[in-house]
Amino acid sequence: MINGKIYNIMIGAPSDVLVYAEIAINCVNQWNVLNTFSNRIALIPSHWSLSSFPSLEDSAQRVINSELVDGSDALIAIFGSRLGSPTKDSVSGTVEEIQKHVQVGKHVMVFFRTSIDANVDLGQIKLLQDFKNSLNGLYATFDNEVDFRQKLSEKLHLFVQKKLTNNSSVSISSPKSEVEFSSDEIEIIKKWTKSNASYLSFHSFIGGRSAFSFGGLMVETSNPKETAEMEDFVKRMLACGYIEITGYDKKGNAKYRLTLLGYRTFGDPK
């Protein structure tokens, strides 16, 4: 067991960008796969469609506030062509969620799509633009689904590193002490530490084939099973702290490099 922290990350979005809300949930889950054990942090994504239950105690938005907003640690808000439907207390549900977070000092990341759907009501477009102009802070824009996935992955990683790292209290399990590497995997890392490049990159091809470059040492897979085994190898190195994430490519895939711990563990002693 190691000490760690669990954070609730809420996803807020009007109905016209639900596909982007799903991407956001996937990005948060992907961050967990790659980073939870090495950072001692777990992020729990929540969206009203998945994390709330029916209730007639109050208006729909107030129920969402009670079930999700009040227990949220941060909010990812996404807008496309609409501001959303008005609530009893605000111009839209997503805006109300933003306001609730800001009022109590919780972090909010707002994303706006650059394109507007042609069939959207002009009133909604004006409301959205007015809200965008009223924001007092920094927001991000994106062009499409691929661009959003890449940008959110990058911003989420930066947010965790700058705002959440070294703030832990909840116990979570870590498999680090149980992680094992095969002799072939150890040989790959050793050769990698001797190369002139510390970066790891990989490319996927049709049919489940992939190519992994460990500082110039190329390892190719010929089927989905071998690719899954190599991806698991990368996850185990990350969990042990032998590699770290340096950013994301245009497809939202993480980019890695060897850490000092990796060099010291597998490199030639100086």
Residues contacting 262, CB < 8 A, separation 6+: 189, 193, 237, 241, 242, 243
pLDDT-based confidence at 270, cuts 50/70/90?
low
pTM score of the predicted model: 0.64
Mean pLDDT of all residues belonging to the chain: 86
In this prediction, what percent of the chain has a pLDDT beyond 70?
91
The structural domains of the chain, ordered by start, are 2-172 (3.40.50.10140), 177-266 (no CATH)
pLDDT 10s digits, 99-139: 999 999 999 999 999 999 988 899 999 999 999 999 988 99
User: What residue spans of the chain are helical by DSSP H?
Assistant: 18-39, 48-51, 60-64, 93-103, 122-134, 145-159, 183-194, 224-240, 260-266
pLDDT 10s digits, 4-20: 788 999 999 999 999 99
Say which residue the tokens 């990005």 belong to.
27
Would you state the pLDDT for residue 61? 92
C-alpha to C-alpha distance for 119 and 112, rounded to whole angstroms:
18
Say which residue the tokens 């089927």 belong to.
223
Q: Can you read off the two tokens belonging to residue 14?
A: 């009007």
